[in-house]
Amino acid sequence: MTDTKSNIKKVDASKVLMVKKHTIKTALLAFQKLAVTAKKDGKNPHFRSNYSTLESVIEAVKQGNQFGLFFTQEMTYEKGFDDNEIGYVIPIVVTKVMHEHDDTVIESKLPIMLARANMENPQKIGSAITYYKRYTLQSVYGLPSEDDDGNVASQPTINTSKPKTRGEDDGL
């Protein structure tokens, strides 16, 4: 519709969509209301299970872009010392979620804890970095996850012994 006095085109008020300016909190809430899950497209033959790869987690959290959410993932390093005061480097995965209209940053820092021998193996470090990136990203966005190669770490160590049969000497 055009105002005949000023020749300015005006939009019909009933056709205007309200655009809500989100903060990081309201954007995360809107994202979580979508109930997004990451596709379980990875296979763990050792545990015969499926898990969400880093790529599928990234694809899932990209749905937060429609609410102004975005993320970065980087590596930082800190110096640690063992019991003998010998220094070593601790790699840390840092995941940050930010919002286009808000200066608030939600950050997750997770140090990579591997046996010292594995810290000299680039393949082991690379696998750990990918694993930590996947889980810190899922954590800050609140995505549900299925444990995959973390199964071994969470299993309790139980020593079982063979029960003694009757008549067997118990050593007393």
Name the stretches of the chain with pLDDT < 70.
Answer: 1-20, 145-172
pLDDT for res 20:
60
pLDDT for res 145:
61
Kindly report the pTM of this predicted structure: 0.69
β pairing state of 2-3 and 49-51:
unpaired
pLDDT for res 119:
86
In angstroms, the Cα distances linking 40 to 56, 136, 141, 148 are: 7, 17, 17, 10
pLDDT for res 93:
98
Report domain extents, the chain. Answer: 20-142
pLDDT for res 172:
47
Report residue 140 as tokens: 């800050």
pLDDT for res 46:
84
Report residue 139 as tokens: 């954590």
pLDDT in tens, 133-150: 999 999 999 998 655 445
pLDDT for res 165:
54
Class of domain 20-142: alpha beta
pLDDT for res 101:
94
pLDDT for res 83:
85
Amino acid at 116: R
